[in-house]
A and B are shown apart, each in its own frame.
Chain A
Amino acid sequence: MRIGVLALQGAVTEHIVSIEKTGAQGLPIKRVEQLEEVEGLIIPGGESTTIGKLMRKYGFIEAIREFAGQGKPIFGTCAGMIVLAKHIAGGEPGHLELMDITVARNAFGRQRESFECDLEVKGIAEPVRAVFIRAPLINEVGPDVDVLTIYKDEIVTARQGNLLVSSFHPELTDDYRLHQYFADMVEDSIAANQ
């Protein structure tokens, strides 16, 4: 099983290391043609404005929408969650606009307010260590969205069918259970397509 990590900017290698712990093969994706080589895609943390701009520039908006349309799973962390969202609070235009959520950028404040803590994620037995870096959060979700984690009344992990998002960075810890959760989604989608 091959899982791509969008490699335009951001924490690409950390995601590849984490996804390979699940037994899947991780591939950095720099060009749209490479999407054909993978069964799932991770959009990493980084700067969402930079990643969004480069996605537009190189034709990734249409290509990733098509990828998602084929039922292939996508996992967005932090900036990845922002580019997957249908709406961005404050009127900024969205990017992929795939997932029925409204996100607020830099919702916890500046870097000095960035933090880590333990969080319960629905579907994962024990709490995970969650690292929040100038992180976004989800203000609103549509009816098809399953909320997986709430931190201080705010939604920070959610799933809608083949789309998974988290405000925090599971790739910055040695704990790969959220990546395993995603790898299972990819495996299910492969099985469903056969």
Chain B
Amino acid sequence: METGTSRVKRGMAEMQKGGVIMDVMNAEQAKIAEAAGAVAVMALERVPSDIRAAGGVARMADPTIVEEVIKVVSIPVMAKARIGHYVEAKVLESLGVDYLDESEVLTPADEVFHINKHEFTVPFVCGAKDLGEALRRINEGASMIRTKGEPGTGNIVEAVRHMRYINSQIRKVTNLSLDELYNEAKILGVSYELLLEVHQLGKLPVVNFAAGGVATPADAALMMHLGADGVFVGSGIFKSDNPEKFARAIVEATTHFTDYKLIAEVSKNLGAPMKGIDIATLTPAERMSERGR
């Protein structure tokens, strides 16, 4: 019997496909998310839009919140550790968290090195905005990739850009000859073996979710249309007027992302979504997606 194998870790992400993973800040929100049909919850102290508003250093959540959430739901519980913060990740693993997010939403603890994720029994998800980042994270042991998007903005434009860019890069790699692949690996700064795998599979070797700026059911469906395997919704749900209804609507729109009548139906009378931020008004320092390469 073997635990923590690559197949067990990547397989866990496969089981989340077609689903919605929701940010929650306490037990009550976790129960709402589970009842709405979330496939997992991300236990946080603050959602990204509040992290933006608060400023300062954002760190791993208080273990009390994580434990509280683990206690009340039967679906998997995820939590975020800072980029490069091995100890935060080990602490969260010790609490029984099912999946770790080494996340640019928190203030990075290391500006050069990410966590060696092979040393963990639980799987990791990491953000990426291009194929090079995605493959470097997979090389470090990530079992799931998500777009970085621009968290806490309620603006889908960056997630769209990242998903489109990664997919266009994959299409290019698929068409390269084997000798061209060596040079492409050098340009992207990734291992030749991993790039060869992408060339052969025509996709990433792990699940790829959309994240960062999903604010409406139609946003979630758009990301599925662009090829996402599933969706993370951060600030969108519990910053909306009616979180319960909103969460159910996002779940349905993700499952039936080509059924536009259904999306119209679930989008009715949802109340105001989060207000959102025009990305162009953010300074480079305010852009979370620039963190971790």
Within 8 A of B (CB), among A142-194: 169, 172-173
- Please report the C-alpha to C-alpha distance between residue A29 and residue B160 in the assembled complex, in whole angstroms: 27
B17 touches A110 (CB 8 A): no
B90 to chain A, nearest CB (A): 12
What is the total number of residues of chain A having a CB less than 8 Å from a CB of chain B?
36
A47 touches B19 (CB 8 A): yes
B96 touches A50 (CB 8 A): no
A53: CB under 8 A from chain B? Answer: yes
A112 touches B18 (CB 8 A): no
Q: A111-B98, A114-B3 are in contact. Are A134 and B17 (CB under 8 A)?
A: no
Q: A46-B39, A47-B40, A172-B7 are in contact. Are A10 and B123 (CB under 8 A)?
A: no
A27: CB under 8 A from chain B? Answer: no
- Please report the C-alpha to C-alpha distance between residue A45 and residue B14 in the assembled complex, in whole angstroms: 9
Stretch at the interface among B126-134, B161-169, B171-179, B250-258: B250-258
Q: A111-B12, A117-B1, A131-B7 are in contact. Are A49 and B17 (CB under 8 A)?
A: no
Count of A-B residue pairs with CB < 8 Å? 107
A3: CB under 8 A from chain B? Answer: no
A172 touches B11 (CB 8 A): yes
Q: A1-13, CB under 8 A of B: which get 1 and which 0?
A: 0000001111111
B interface residue count range (under 10 / 10 to 19 / 20 to 34 / 35 or more): 20 to 34
A145 to chain B, nearest CB (A): 25
Within 8 A of A (CB), among B209-249: none
Q: A12-B18, A14-B14, A53-B37 are in contact. Are A134 and B76 (CB under 8 A)?
A: yes
B74 to chain A, nearest CB (A): 6
Other-chain contact of B18, A7, A106, A111, A172 (Cβ < 8 Å): A7
B139 surroundings in chain A (CB, below 8 A): none
- Please report the C-alpha to C-alpha distance between residue A82 and residue B16 in the assembled complex, in whole angstroms: 16
B102: CB under 8 A from chain A? Answer: no
B15 touches A133 (CB 8 A): yes
A78: CB under 8 A from chain B? Answer: yes
B15 touches A46 (CB 8 A): yes
A111 touches B17 (CB 8 A): no
Within 8 A of B (CB), among A1-36: 7-14, 30
B7 surroundings in chain A (CB, below 8 A): 116, 131, 172-173
Other-chain contact of B15, A7, A47, A173 (Cβ < 8 Å): A47
B18 touches A115 (CB 8 A): no
- Please report the C-alpha to C-alpha distance between residue A9 and residue B252 in the assembled complex, in whole angstroms: 10
B255 touches A54 (CB 8 A): yes
A116 touches B37 (CB 8 A): no
A45 surroundings in chain B (CB, below 8 A): 14-15
B8 to chain A, nearest CB (A): 5
Q: A9-B39, A110-B98, A114-B3 are in contact. Are A30 and B256 (CB under 8 A)?
A: yes
Please give me the residue from chain B that is nearest to A47 by CB atom.
B39
- Please report the C-alpha to C-alpha distance between residue A12 and residue B15 in the assembled complex, in whole angstroms: 9
- Please report the C-alpha to C-alpha distance between residue A106 and residue B123 in the assembled complex, in whole angstroms: 17
Please give me the residue from chain B that is nearest to A46 by CB atom.
B15
Other-chain contact of A47, B8, B16, B252, B255 (Cβ < 8 Å): B16
A47 touches B17 (CB 8 A): no
Please give me the residue from chain B that is nearest to A79 by CB atom.
B15
B38: CB under 8 A from chain A? Answer: yes
Other-chain contact of B34, A9, A49, A116, A117 (Cβ < 8 Å): A49
B76 surroundings in chain A (CB, below 8 A): 47, 111, 134
Q: A8-B255, A49-B34 are in contact. Are A113 and B3 (CB under 8 A)?
A: yes
A12 surroundings in chain B (CB, below 8 A): 17-18
A interface, CB within 8 angstroms of B: 7-14, 30, 45-47, 49-50, 53-54, 57, 78-79, 105-106, 110-117, 131-134, 169, 172-173
Task: Pick the 5 closest A-B CB pairs, nearest first.
Answer: A111-B98, A9-B18, A47-B39, A117-B1, A11-B14
B interface, CB within 8 angstroms of A: 1-5, 7-8, 11-12, 14-19, 34, 37-40, 74-76, 93, 96, 98-99, 121-123, 251-252, 255-256
What would be 16 A-B contacts, judged by CB atoms less than 8 Å apart? Answer: A7-B18, A13-B17, A46-B16, A46-B18, A47-B19, A47-B76, A54-B252, A110-B98, A112-B4, A113-B3, A114-B12, A115-B1, A116-B2, A131-B11, A172-B7, A173-B7
A47-B40, A113-B3 given; 14 more Cβ-contact pairs under 8 Å = A9-B255, A11-B11, A45-B14, A45-B15, A47-B39, A50-B19, A112-B4, A112-B96, A114-B3, A114-B11, A115-B5, A116-B5, A133-B11, A134-B12
